Amino acid sequence: MIIRQFLLISMLLLHVHSIFCSDLPILPESLENKNDTMAVFQSIETRLNYVSFIQNSAEERFVVKQTKNGSPLAQLDHIKEVFATHIAQSIGIFTNHVFLLPKGLDIAGKPDKERLATLHTWVPGCSTIKMFSPPFIRQGTRMTLSSYDKIGLTRKMIRNMSKHPDLSKIVAFDTYLGNYDRSLLNLFYDKKIDRFYMIDMERALSVNLCYAACYHMEIISKEKTIAFSPAEINALTSFCQTLHALVEKYPPQEQNNLFDYYLSQSELERENQLDTEAINHKIEWYKALIADTYTSAKKLITLINTLITPA
């Protein structure tokens, strides 16, 4: 039964690939091997999630994540995670693969088989919280989201993202997707190949970070004494290039279509009427945010290009 369900998931993911012409990968082949077994080797609990680390007989490792909150509204976090990861991979930003595990699928590490969960491939390297001098590119916290002067592309953020070529791309992605929570735990570094990876996108679609960035760029433009270093100009150039790629490939309608597809696969819309109304209201809010962010992103690109282009 489990193998059959995994095969169905693989067929589903291939169907997604044909619809959106993306680079979304199919489910890892090792998970379809009927002669293989998956086992949990560690489980932890975060404030919001159950997290299980599993591996097969070949010691290939994966992560299963499920929200503690069993309400259909809370499970939208799983949809946001696969939605945002899909977008990141399609434009070449380094992250892991994330798959939606539907209701009814029983897999090692999934506490409640009757609820949604996500399966994450293993990321190389270590969390940046273990680095001696880690790059802080978190654009806000739950406590600061209503204060645009405290979130987004601040002067300090520009300096931090200039420390490595990968960081400006990650910051641009988080800015466009409204993901403020790029904590050190959600940013990995592989020393062997000098590469940063991002994980955990469940806080996507939280706030218009492009609007916040415009706020900061307008302030900087009025302060004639502030000058960017060559490394910061390179980082801002890379930021704009990545943001432009996102704007071109994922305008509001494309994002809405992608989100709706994952929502349909989750079957959350089949919950009772009260839950369905709450879910629809939240999705309307997400789509309004996506539209506002798109408008702000185009303005932001113009503002930054004006700042970094020699007079």
Residue 273 and residue 142 share a domain: yes
Tell me the residue type at 40.
V
Measured CA to CA, the distance from residue 98 to residue 199 in angstroms comes to: 9
CATH of residue 22's domain is 3.30.200
32 vs 114, more confident: 114
What average pLDDT score do residues 182-199 get? 97
Amino acid type, 193: I
**Mean pLDDT value of segment 177-191:** 96
Total domains in the chain come to 2
Asked if residue 158 and residue 92 are part of one domain, the reply reads no
Query: Could you give the count of Cα atoms lying within 13 Å of 70 in the half-sphere of its Cβ?
Result: 7
Q: What is the pLDDT of residue 15?
A: 37
Residue that wins the pLDDT comparison between 32 and 87: 87
Indicate whether 254 and 160 sit together in one domain.
Answer: yes
- Which residue type, as a one-letter code, is found at position 206? S
**pLDDT, averaged across the chain:** 87
Last residue of a domain, one of 79, 101, 121: 121
Q: Which whole number is the average pLDDT over 229-236?
A: 97
Cβ-proximal residues to 153 (8 Å cutoff; 6+ apart), any chain: 139, 171, 175, 209, 212, 213, 216, 217, 239, 300
pLDDT at 20 over 50: no
Q: What is the mean pLDDT of residues 111-128?
A: 95
Least confident of 117-126, 152-161, 274-283: 274-283
Those residues whose C-beta lies under 8 Å from the C-beta of residue 134, and which sit 6 or more positions away, are 128, 184, 187
Check residues 115 and 36 and name the one with the higher pLDDT: 115
Q: How confident is the model at residue 29 (pLDDT cuts 50, 70, 90)?
A: low
What are the angstrom distances between the C-alpha of 83 and each of 79, 128, 195, 250, 254? 6, 24, 23, 12, 11
Q: Which pLDDT score, from 0 to 100, does residue 35 have?
A: 47
> Within a 13 Å sphere around the CA of 111, how many CA atoms are in the beta-carbon half?
13
Confidence bin at 58 (pLDDT 50/70/90): confident
Residues 171 and 288 in one domain: yes
Report the pLDDT averaged over residues 117-134.
95
Is residue 156 scored above 90 in pLDDT? yes
pLDDT at 140 over 50: yes
Q: What is the mean pLDDT of residues 192-216?
A: 96
> Per-residue pLDDT for 199 more than 80?
yes
Q: What is the pLDDT of residue 33?
A: 52
d(CA 296, CA 210): 5
Distance CA 172, CA 297 (A): 10
Same domain? 28 vs 47 = yes
How far is it, in rounded angstroms, from Cα 204 to Cα 77?
Answer: 8
Query: Is 31 or 181 the better-scoring residue by pLDDT?
Result: 181
pTM of the predicted model over 0.85? yes
Last residue of a domain, one of 121, 138, 158: 121
Tell me, yes or no, whether 71 and 194 share the same domain. Answer: no
Q: How many CB atoms lie within 10 A of CB 106?
A: 12
Sign of the Cα torsion 107, 110, 116, 122 reads negative
Domain containing 217 equals: 126-308
- Are 71 and 112 within one domain? yes
Question: pLDDT digits over 233-287, tens only?
Answer: 999 999 999 999 999 999 999 999 999 999 998 877 666 665 788 889 999 999 9
Residues 83-102: tens digit of each pLDDT? 999 999 999 999 999 999 98
248 and 141 share a domain?
yes
State the pLDDT at residue 76.
95
Give the per-residue pLDDT at 234.
97
Q: For residue 3, is pLDDT > 50?
A: no
Is there a single domain that holds both residue 47 and residue 67? yes
Alpha carbon distance 128, 78 (integer Å): 24
Nearby residues of 61 by Cβ (< 8 Å), 6 or more positions away: 53, 54, 55, 122
Counting residues of the chain whose pLDDT is more than 90, the rounded percentage is: 72
Residues 157 and 254 reside in one and the same domain: yes
Residues 299, 195 share a domain: yes
Arithmetic mean of pLDDT, 194-210: 97
> Looking at the structure, do residues 134 and 155 belong to the same domain, yes or no?
yes
Mean pLDDT is lowest, of 30-34, 71-75, 182-186, 197-201, for 30-34
Q: Which of 121, 150, 168 is the last residue of a domain?
A: 121
